[in-house]
């Protein structure tokens, strides 16, 4: 027989109301009582019924996550951070991709299904670009991740500074400098602008050193390993060695690294490559990169959203994480 909320209350030595408040992430529960309830839940293996919980609290215990449809490992790490926080309070999530005008129109309706959840995370999306008036069409809490708006709680990394760190590192190396970026102009309403910020910081570092990035040395492509591989081959066919290349994300950098391997050139000596993200495989291939704390951003955004759902009315939160340059053999460590 499955344990019930009454069993939890009995084992913890608290009232049913206290157990309910713990399950609903009520901040007014005494820490000692919260620990008693959590220990009892773990000991009994109790799993709350979200539908039963929603009746008295008028909450769904669900959040909606909106994001561009992009096959990127970045989102996998981000969701891991989000899910870790949600599981601590028995919340769940649903994902809603925003990748077409048709979907955007449907999400512009305040009665759309995603807005029936308790709160929303908008990932790599900016409401001012998506919706008329610049507001998400709901009164429910909204938090942005990997994006910035002065209208909503915003959790992001300093992308300009990240690009600047990459530029400062590469200008120390002799050779021509190339930039592999991601074009965001085609579907600007679905873009967060992070890649443009990385480019801006990168170019600022070069300008401070009295250098100029030639247009012929800039390639804008999709966030695609194969496109990066193709561009890498083109650069290596015509470039005068040594060459220094900044790719605005690790996925693109990996394509360049593969092109270097194909060519028989020496990575870190003939060709130096730096990426951005520090995905889990980046260390394995020896990729110098700019690290952003992806999971931590997901966790922080989720914590703020859950606080908002619990009636936190504090002023708007803006959390800007600092990037960190991680130097490895791809730039000749």
Packing angle of the helix pair 73-88, 294-309 (nearest 10 deg) = 40
Which whole number is the average pLDDT over 26-37? 82
CATH says 159-292+324-331 is which class? alpha beta
Sign of CA dihedral 275, 280, 285, 286: positive
Per the model's pLDDT, the better-predicted residue between 289 and 20 turns out to be: 289
pLDDT number for residue 143: 98
Q: What is the mean pLDDT of the chain?
A: 89
* Residue 38: band (very low, low, confident or very high) from pLDDT cuts 50, 70, 90: confident
Residue 97 has pLDDT above 80, yes or no: yes
**How far is 47 from 45, CA to CA, in rounded Å?**
7
The topology under which CATH files domain 62-156+294-321 is Rossmann fold (3.40.50)
Sign of CA dihedral 30, 36, 38, 40: negative
The topology under which CATH files domain 5-56 is 434 Repressor (Amino-terminal Domain) (1.10.260)
| pLDDT tens per residue, range 155-195 | 999 999 999 999 999 999 999 999 999 886 666 666 778 99
| Phi, psi (rounded to 5 degrees) for 320 | -110, 110
Using an 8 Å Cβ cutoff, are 77 and 84 in contact?
no
| Topology agreement, domain 5-56 and domain 159-292+324-331 | no
pLDDT number for residue 47: 73
Q: Domain residue spans in the chain?
A: 5-56, 62-156+294-321, 159-292+324-331
pLDDT number for residue 57: 58
Q: What percent of the chain is modeled with pLDDT above 70?
A: 92
Query: CA dist 208 to 161, 176, 201, 212, 327, Å?
Result: 14, 17, 11, 10, 21
| pLDDT tens per residue, range 111-166 | 999 999 999 999 999 999 889 888 999 999 999 999 999 999 999 999 999 999 99
H or E element at residue 65: strand 62-67
Q: What does the radius of gyration of the chain's CA atoms come to, in whole angstroms? A: 24
pLDDT number for residue 18: 84
Task: Look at the block and give the residue holding tokens 């008329």.
Answer: 132
**How far is 37 from 22, CA to CA, in rounded Å?**
7
Which whole number is the average pLDDT over 291-307? 96
Q: What is the pTM of this model?
A: 0.81
| pLDDT tens per residue, range 13-30 | 988 778 877 776 676 788
* Residue 277: band (very low, low, confident or very high) from pLDDT cuts 50, 70, 90: very high
Per the model's pLDDT, the better-predicted residue between 87 and 184 turns out to be: 87
């Amino acid at each position: 027989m499955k344990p019930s909320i009454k069993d939890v209350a009995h084992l913890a030595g608290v009232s049913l109301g206290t157990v309910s408040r713990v399950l609903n992430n009520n901040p007014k529960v005494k820490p000692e009582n919260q620990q008693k309830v959590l220990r009892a839940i773990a000991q009994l293996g109790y799993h709350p019924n979200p539908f039963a919980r929603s009746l008295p609290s008028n909450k769904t215990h669900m959040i909606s996550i909106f994001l561009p449809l992009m096959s990127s490992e970045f989102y996998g790490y981000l969701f891991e951070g989000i899910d870790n926080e949600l599981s601590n309070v028995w919340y769940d999530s649903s994902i809603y991709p925003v990748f077409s005008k048709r979907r955007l129109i449907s999400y512009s309706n305040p009665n759309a299904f995603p807005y029936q959840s308790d709160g929303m995370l908008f990932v790599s999306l900016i409401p001012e670009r998506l919706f008329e008036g610049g507001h998400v069409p709901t009164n429910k809490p909204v938090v942005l991740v990997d994006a910035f708006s002065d209208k909503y709680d915003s959790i992001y990394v300093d992308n300009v500074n990240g690009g600047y760190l990459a530029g400062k590192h590469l200008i120390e190396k002799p050779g021509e400098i190339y930039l592999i970026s991601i074009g965001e102009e085609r579907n600007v309403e679905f873009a967060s602008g992070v890649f443009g910020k990385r480019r801006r910081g990168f170019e600022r570092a070069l300008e401070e050193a009295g250098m100029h990035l030639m247009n012929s040395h800039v390639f804008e492509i999709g966030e695609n390993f194969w496109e990066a591989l193709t561009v890498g081959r083109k650069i290596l066919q015509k470039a005068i060695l040594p060459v220094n290349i900044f790719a605005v994300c690790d996925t693109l950098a990996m394509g360049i690294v593969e092109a270097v391997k194909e060519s028989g050139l020496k990575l870190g000596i003939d060709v130096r490559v730096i990426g951005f993200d520090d995905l889990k495989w980046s260390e394995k291939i020896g990729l110098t990169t700019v690290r952003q704390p992806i999971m931590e951003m997901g966790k922080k955004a989720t914590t703020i959203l859950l606080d908002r759902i619990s009636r936190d009315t504090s002023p708007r939160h803006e959390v800007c994480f600092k990037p960190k340059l991680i130097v490895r053999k791809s730039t000749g460590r």
